[in-house]
A and B are shown apart, each in its own frame.
Chain A
């Protein structure tokens, strides 16, 4: 159990101020578990997160949604702690807990008063290898997940459209898989599938523990050795295959016709992620490009298309550079009253065209740089956010140290580089389009009010 590395994040010097130095320590246990601690002593609290390298992009057809269902089952007990007890213990310690699943990760977290970190470690260590996974609990919980799918996707026209759009915008890349899983896959899922999935991915050598808050890194390390140290590593951990997306050769377009009130437009272009990018400035240039379009009320989409010409009622543009695999640069819009999705598409594409032909102005670039510098300070107000950032960068394979290059890299982006990525990636033959076409909802039918008694009861 040697200590790998202890680095202090270099202090980020703003034009006018120096932010207090923030210490980050990194350790690795003998069983392969990685621990990253970021001390922040402003409040007597601690955030503890356990990140596993598994998520919906690790899944296969027929068993989509399995990582997320497993996440739910992680609260259903071990030999030591019966179902629900985990949550009761955290609660009795004044804690807040939850878990989340994304394409690239599954993570569990607690927020606690600082002296109670060991409560989190003890329980997380137990459920890293020892959950029960009974058929009875699984049957109930998968129903909850189906309700979750209805709530998040089936009954939300825009989410439903996005899911379809996403599924056809990738051919080979597993990013086409919806994290919540297809309904049919949820219906056919078996508890044995989950046992295999759990055994395969839940191991110390596939996990990163991130702790931020009012703690001492060496003490956290000692605590981690006590609780996570004895867990045996997995000996047959095989990382997922690359499943690289082939280059798109021509525009793809779909329609989604469902009961809804408003039309909706989605545009997506395949772009590189920071991890594995051939030119590592390109993702940052795309990030700045997103800021030019949608980095605030004074950005182009709001100024020109929502307020200026009044063609869109809402619009956004965005991109995540910290993903495991290449993803999409996304634009979405709802046309204003009296305007169509066709017009919406036309004006968005015109904005893209302008980014290709005309360098952005210095004042726009300066605005984004000021926002990035300030944003970097603002995000330190949340220790939870800081842990999220570390966990994401680590789990996708970038490493937490690259968080610190963000401000500097963004600052170095030039108008020519923005133009270059617009020309290279935001081109017609790489465009994916989805349009939500609303069908009538018949919402007026059957309005009944019963007074004085309880309807059917």
Chain B
């Protein structure tokens, strides 16, 4: 409701959660399987009278097939009514008990989330409503036709945003025909081609118990959590788990894509396929990138692009680990006349980083930041829920949080140098530049 206009000193690109640990401070994760085979991850958090729940299906946009946008539109329509109740009535059932219901997709996951007060009187109706949404969403024709139009308008709106245009081109160039190459919100053409039956079939196939993981954090005991899960899934069919996605191919050569755009700045993105959840090199790459462009302004890119030269407000690099290799991306924006300098500094900084690795001093600084800041990663129920959902979906060990700092502490300079050289190739990266004015 409140409109805020605060402007921050810098923006941080938030990638999907990752973690580190102090043994005594990590939450105790309990795991079990529901009656019909959904995996449940639970943390008891009695500090506040809140329950957070997330049910995640292996049904992200990588499952779209030829109909880019199918996963997103299917998930979106789950907010448009169920069991004969329309969108407003469903929303009233949540909002009338103060609950917050949200749902969305990324390339791997499709999820529904509920945040409610923990008292039975408030929680039970919210869980019942969620269960109705999972059981029989309406997918009504009227809603479908209208929401398709809203998708089309939003795609049109994206074309006035140089950052969004750059990102779309970047994914296409890196992944080609791999399912990760499409944007979750589709294209004008594919959205037009999606039918109501496509949605219903997608829902029937993927929104099933054996394709689900559930994360729960909050003020309810294990028994109550378990019975909540059974109630939630009572009428959801068992189905089967989605098959693994295809591997991501490495890039064979460098590619530079320039798109003219009537903006005062040019947006630059540079990168390649990065790493995946459970990747044996994950921690080494994470630590290395922290020194390159993951540590905000205390990083090489922050220093070279912003602090030394004043070229860009936002500059960063990150790995986005997915089920398969997600992107490694470095980015910045600068006024059109100095974009060539920006691209050059960006590329040379990355090249130097890959060729020579990082210094002992940088290693120590990054390690201290990552391990010393561990408690900040799990200081709210919301953040813990994010980790549970991630650990569950990607089948990471339950000790993931406990092990993180140990893994970071064990990494050597030599390992970083060797890993970066093996995994990153500056001469085979994609560069996207969007801008240049009319």
Chain A residues within 8 Å of B, Cβ to Cβ: 14-17, 19-20, 42-45, 68, 71-72, 75, 83-84, 87-88, 91-96, 98-103, 111-114, 116, 139-148, 150-152, 154-157, 179-180, 259-262, 287, 290-291, 294-298, 302-303, 306-307, 310, 313-314, 317-320, 330, 334, 336-337, 363, 366-367, 370-375, 377-378, 380-383, 438, 441-443, 445-457
Contact = CB atoms under 8 A, between A and B. Distances in A.
A17 B306 contact: no
B431 A155 contact: no
9 contacts: A16-B121, A94-B368, A298-B96, A373-B98, A374-B98, A374-B122, A381-B382, A449-B257, A454-B347
Interface in B365-420: 365, 368-376, 378-382
B257 A320 contact: no
Given A84-B297, A456-B340, A297 B312 contact: no
A443 B369 contact: no
A71 B9 contact: yes
Given A71-B9, A98-B8, A93 B96 contact: no
Contacts of A88: 298, 365
Given A92-B369, A262-B157, A377-B49, A179 B5 contact: yes
Contact of A262 (B80, B156, B314): B156
Given A45-B379, A313-B150, A374-B98, A330 B7 contact: no
A357 to B, nearest CB: 22
B10 A307 contact: no
Nearest to B382: A381
Interface residues of B, number: 105
B235 interface: no
A17 B49 contact: yes
Contacts of A156: 161
Contacts of B313: 144-145, 147-148, 151
Interface stretch (B64-72, B84-92, B104-112): B84-92
B297 A140 contact: no
B298 A87 contact: yes
B376 A262 contact: no
Given A116-B372, A374-B116, A454-B347, 16 more contacts: A17-B118, A44-B375, A75-B297, A95-B373, A101-B6, A113-B376, A147-B335, A148-B7, A155-B265, A295-B1, A313-B149, A320-B2, A330-B3, A383-B380, A446-B260, A449-B258
Contacts of A144: 306, 310, 312-313
A84 B312 contact: no
Contacts of B101: 297
Interface string B239-262: 000000000000001111111111
A276 to B, nearest CB: 19
Residue in B91, B371, B433 whose Cβ sees the most chain A Cβ within 10 Å: B91
Nearest to A156: B161
A295 B263 CA distance: 34
B160 A157 contact: yes
Contacts of A150: 263-265, 333, 335
The 9 closest A-B pairs by CB, nearest first: A94-B372, A374-B98, A94-B373, A143-B310, A297-B91, A298-B91, A446-B260, A43-B379, A148-B313
A264 B249 CA distance: 42
Contacts of B150: 306, 313-314, 336
B47 interface: yes
Nearest to A441: B262
Contacts of B297: 75, 84, 87
Given A87-B296, A151-B265, A336 B91 contact: no
Given A377-B117, A381-B381, A147 B7 contact: no
A147 B265 contact: yes
A337 B149 contact: yes
